[in-house]
Chain A
């Protein structure tokens, strides 16, 4: 039971490191005169905390390597956190053994990016869709299962009669609809969508996005929507979380993020979106390159590219600070009032 204040999903101090496989000999390093063992790892998520309220569509944006997909996978339990917790409806779910996680599986589902590999090529659509229903609702009769699957297929715009076909007989857009159907068969409350439309054509993107919006209205769903496409975010999201190199830069309601972006990275990102306005637009050029997540820069992860970085930025990691009106920013310059 969630009260008005309990968020549906809570991510608290999340860290995720992927150790790089190296033999013992390679791990040893000479530090002065001492031999030390250091294991290198990809620091995919570095201290992310956020809450998702029931009914909202939180969009997580960032460029490649920012860790947004990893966050999605940790929230869904596909990966376990290196540190931090994930809570669903007030209960801690990270690290739960499979049996205890089972009832949550009915309430939270996921949609993936690649329509070509997110459906099992050797199973018919019917089989793919019926399996989760039978698994989570073992008391239904065969007829009831079939009916439920047919209903969910129609609701995503796929003719139920095509259930006997295999995924390769469908187009990319149709496959994505089927993936959405699969997520909807168990009647979840919360859906994590990892770049669900990036691999589709523009006109199909519009169709699938509309489908997701309709589903949200009809079923009262809560979304965590991962994407790099900011124009989709502007349209679809209620709140936006901007990530860079595994850290949360800014978290704000959509309207304020787009009208007054605060974090320097958010500003650069927004300015770079190719608009139909045309003519060489003035975009903020960031100097340098994205650092490697294996060797994280000290202090603020963005400092080597930020036009406003100072000494403090190079040594101290900024915390996410409330700016009022639901806006949170992690930036020393903003905190100190150095930039507007």
Chain B
């Protein structure tokens, strides 16, 4: 184990990381956001879900540094009297969780189908890729809106809110598996031609073992690269859906729902209700994308040849 860690820290990845300021800064910001949001139950000043802690009299208070600010609420409160800072911390956590789980679902479906299509080839490949093509021609958001709207109408608003997080993960997860499938398939097609695959066939291993034990580890590089982008996209998609009212409900808001709930107050004075969640969302997606760009450049063998 120790050897693995030492190997990692000695590796090219870490070496190039330390030399790239953008990567380091992005990573630190991301780490900070993740730590703050995931420690919310312990560190948030208030619990925005606890109706006992909310006082309608505290509503619409601007951030601390403005005239009517209150030192209890660092960035002000919303229309119900919830502390924006706490709401944002919990909200960020939900956004990240949905992003990660949705991508995990995409990974599992995409990798399995990509491996099958690439390794088995022939009709199986043709069929799966046509399905993927068809799915790709529909925009994720459009499909998600339709699906979620139908669910919301049939389940009713309350029941829907309870299952919203699962619905979001499922819809975003299932909508985007073709990205992974195609990437994995391309890698598998390349790896299949290599002699180590012939070697294990000659030893007598079966196709399942060869696909998952031998080929899959060699397709991880491109998977890693697109994963960062996919996480960012998933977070964005979720934010958009919540903004449209089809995602997380107002009482368990993600960043998107927070932006939505404050939207009507944008011009009437309480600008901070929308503004700060929006800034956090932008920052989150930006650093993930920057890290993804850096990762792609580092893992590209042609670019970093010396």
Do A and B pair up? The answer is yes
Using a CB–CB cutoff of 8 Å, the interface residues on chain A facing chain B are: 73, 76-78, 98, 101-102, 105-106, 109-110, 112-114, 117-123, 131-132, 135-136, 164, 179, 182, 186
> What's the Cα separation between A182 and B199 when bound, in Å?
9
B67 contacts chain A at the CB level, 8 A cutoff:
no
Interface contact A105-B3, CB-CB below 8 Å: no
Taking the closest CB of chain B, its distance from the CB of A186, in whole angstroms, is 7
Specify which chain B residues have a CB less than 8 angstroms from the CB of A101 in the assembled complex: 204
Specify which chain A residues have a CB less than 8 angstroms from the CB of B196 in the assembled complex: 117-121
- Mark contacts of B200-235 with chain A using CB atoms, 8 A cut-off: 1 yes-contact digit, 0 otherwise: 111111100000001001100000000000000000
Specify which chain A residues have a CB less than 8 angstroms from the CB of B198 in the assembled complex: 73, 78, 110, 112, 118
Taking the closest CB of chain A, its distance from the CB of B42, in whole angstroms, is 39
Interface contact A114-B195, CB-CB below 8 Å: yes
Taking the closest CB of chain A, its distance from the CB of B239, in whole angstroms, is 36
Interface contact A76-B195, CB-CB below 8 Å: no
With contacts A78-B198, A112-B198, A120-B196 taken as known, whether A135 is within 8 angstroms of B203 at the C-beta atoms is: yes
Specify which chain A residues have a CB less than 8 angstroms from the CB of B194 in the assembled complex: 117-118
Interface contact B218-A105, CB-CB below 8 Å: no
Specify which chain A residues have a CB less than 8 angstroms from the CB of B204 in the assembled complex: 98, 101-102, 105-106, 132, 135-136
With contacts A118-B195, A119-B196 taken as known, whether A186 is within 8 angstroms of B203 at the C-beta atoms is: yes
Taking the closest CB of chain B, its distance from the CB of A274, in whole angstroms, is 28
Specify which chain B residues have a CB less than 8 angstroms from the CB of A119 in the assembled complex: 196, 199
Specify which chain B residues have a CB less than 8 angstroms from the CB of A164 in the assembled complex: 3
Interface contact A110-B199, CB-CB below 8 Å: yes
Number of interface residues of B (CB under 8 A): 16
Interface contact A122-B218, CB-CB below 8 Å: yes
- Please classify the interface of chain B as helix (H, G, I), strand (E, B), loop, or mixed, using the class held by over half of its residues: helix
Specify which chain B residues have a CB less than 8 angstroms from the CB of A135 in the assembled complex: 203-205
Specify which chain B residues have a CB less than 8 angstroms from the CB of A186 in the assembled complex: 203
Specify which chain A residues have a CB less than 8 angstroms from the CB of B218 in the assembled complex: 120-122
| Closest B residue to A118 using CB positions | B195
Specify which chain B residues have a CB less than 8 angstroms from the CB of A113 in the assembled complex: 195
Taking the closest CB of chain A, its distance from the CB of B271, in whole angstroms, is 52
Interface contact B195-A112, CB-CB below 8 Å: yes
> What's the Cα separation between A79 and B169 when bound, in Å?
43
Specify which chain B residues have a CB less than 8 angstroms from the CB of A102 in the assembled complex: 204
Taking the closest CB of chain A, its distance from the CB of B145, in whole angstroms, is 38
Across the interface, A78 reaches (CB within 8 A) one of B202, B205, B206, B214, namely B202
Taking the closest CB of chain A, its distance from the CB of B111, in whole angstroms, is 15
| Closest A residue to B214 using CB positions | A120
Specify which chain A residues have a CB less than 8 angstroms from the CB of B200 in the assembled complex: 120, 131
Interface contact B201-A78, CB-CB below 8 Å: yes
Taking the closest CB of chain B, its distance from the CB of A267, in whole angstroms, is 33
Max count, chain A CB within 10 A of own CB: residue among B194, B195, B217: B195
> What's the Cα separation between A119 and B198 when bound, in Å?
10
Interface contact A179-B203, CB-CB below 8 Å: no
Taking the closest CB of chain B, its distance from the CB of A179, in whole angstroms, is 7
